[in-house]
Amino acid sequence: MSVTLSPRALMSLLANGPKAMDVLETALAVGLLDALEPGPAPLGELAERFGFLPLRLYKFLDCLESLGLVTRDEAGDEITAASYRAVAGLRDAVAAVVGPDSVERDRDRYPWRRLHGRLAQSLRGEVGMTDDDFAWPPRDDEQTASFERSMAVGLGPVLETLHRHAQRLWPQRRRLLDVGGGDGTLAARVLDDAPGLRADVYNLPAVAPLVRATRARSGHPDRLGFVGGDFLAEPLPRGYDAMAFVRVLHDWPNDVARRLVEKAYAALDPGGLLVIGEEFRTPDRLAMQFFWSYFLIGVDSCVSRLREVEFYTGLLKETGFTEVAVLPGGWELVTAYKPATGG
Ligand SMILES: C[S@@+](CC[C@H](N)C(=O)[O-])C[C@H]1O[C@@H](n2cnc3c(N)ncnc32)[C@H](O)[C@@H]1O
């Protein structure tokens, strides 16, 4: 189901956002979402099963329906006969937003309040994040650890897509370089699905201890490595038949993104695979990126440029890559190969 609300209606939901979150947290906590997702669930049965008063539950379910999260089939005069079904995947989506490993909870740790209520001054450049608040790239060990933790928390959908396509991506590959590869969480998970692969994380030297810790926790300490470097200042290391940029290129302006893809082309072995996982510009992804769009208004060094997938497929072809493909998934991936005869 997809519901497009008028701007006026959307604003009513936004103005009541904390109440909407209360409804979602409650629905998750009491187990109502588990009952609603298989559906159709008659209100009378739900009320009896959960010990709720039917009319109160009816209004509670109206709140969920107003959010576009349940559908209702009203059979007759009695509200108890109305039956409800949650949209597919609702329980997992709510758990991802309000559960213990919630990305949104993690984001709330950042000093976004520095801008709150002062956006006009911020837009004029009078107010912004200081390097103590948030420097890009992170400035010290504490900021590095905090930022890479946030990134690892948000990896779920891209890990799901990588897992889904593992048999297509890795069997022919020997060495992967995950460029800007965070604390190594993604590389470690790729290795779970690719027994013949070794992976190195390429990242700023300050990230080395975080990757060491990931390696120690992972099941593949002998296959996960780290290469320290600065991709803006130097060529990418050679000797890899696969490279990945996951949520790296959107941090930079177009000319830098282009240069990084060219560096990957130059460094990859002939026949090498490049995987790009990005914050592609779709209505869904823009919405899920809302926090960073807002927060980074105060951080001029990070461009946060969400681009349509076509920017990347076009860039790969212009650079000389072939077999450019978009692999479907929670977050789709772009793949391409350097020609076997390429220089
Ligand atoms: C948005 S994070 C994405 C991390 C990880 N790939 C993920 O998706 O969770 C961008 C990554 O680029 C790295 N990075 C930023 N500037 C870099 C540079 N000049 N050289 C190498 N890595 C850099 C950061 O340290 C960080 O790990």
Residue 259 placed within a domain? yes
248 C-alpha to ligand 1 centroid (Å): 6
> Are residues 204 and 76 located together in one domain of the fold?
no
> Are residues 87 and 137 located together in one domain of the fold?
no
> Are residues 247 and 304 located together in one domain of the fold?
yes
Q: What is the pLDDT of residues 85-124, one digit of tens each?
A: 999 999 999 998 998 888 899 999 999 999 999 999 999 9
Residue 255 placed within a domain? yes
Residue 103 placed within a domain? no
Q: Whose CA is nearest to atom 14 of ligand 1?
A: 180
Atom of ligand 1 nearest to the CA of 144: 25
Using a 6 Å cutoff on CB, does residue 278 contact ligand 1?
no
pLDDT at 1 over 80: no
> Are residues 47 and 129 located together in one domain of the fold?
no
What is the pLDDT, as a whole number, of residue 94?
96
Span 175-191, average pLDDT: 97
Q: Is the dihedral of CA 22, 25, 30, 34 positive or negative?
A: positive
**Where in the sequence is the domain holding 50, given as residue range(s)?**
7-98
Chosen domain end from 33, 63, 98 = 98
> Are residues 90 and 144 located together in one domain of the fold?
no
Using a 6 Å cutoff on CB, does residue 244 contact ligand 1?
no
CATH number at residue 27: 1.10.10.10
CATH number at residue 276: 3.40.50.150
Instruction: Give the total number of structural domains in the chain.
Output: 2
> Are residues 119 and 168 located together in one domain of the fold?
yes
Q: Whose CA is nearest to atom 13 of ligand 1?
A: 180
Query: Given the DSSP bridges, would you call strands 83-86 and 175-179 parallel, antiparallel or unpaired?
Result: unpaired
> Are residues 172 and 248 located together in one domain of the fold?
yes
Residue 306 placed within a domain? yes
Q: What is the pLDDT of residues 321-338, one digit of tens each?
A: 999 999 999 899 999 999
CA distance 112 to 298: 9
Q: What is the pLDDT of residues 208-257, one digit of tens each?
A: 999 999 999 999 999 999 999 999 999 999 999 999 999 999 999 999 99
Using a 6 Å cutoff on CB, does residue 251 contact ligand 1?
yes
DSSP string computed for 47-101: HHHHT--HHHHHHHHHHHHHTT-EEEE--SS-GGG-EEEEPTTHHHHHHHHHSTT
Ordered alpha helix ranges (H), 205-337: 208-217, 254-267, 283-288, 290-295, 309-319
Tokens, residue 239: 């000797």
> Are residues 241 and 175 located together in one domain of the fold?
yes
Q: What is the pLDDT of residues 140-170, one digit of tens each?
A: 888 999 888 888 888 989 999 999 999 999 9
201 C-alpha to ligand 1 centroid (Å): 10
Chosen domain end from 98, 127, 153 = 98
Chosen domain end from 98, 120, 138 = 98
> Are residues 271 and 332 located together in one domain of the fold?
yes
Using a 6 Å cutoff on CB, does residue 135 contact ligand 1?
no
Residue 343 placed within a domain? no
Atom of ligand 1 nearest to the CA of 250: 1
Residue 105 placed within a domain? no
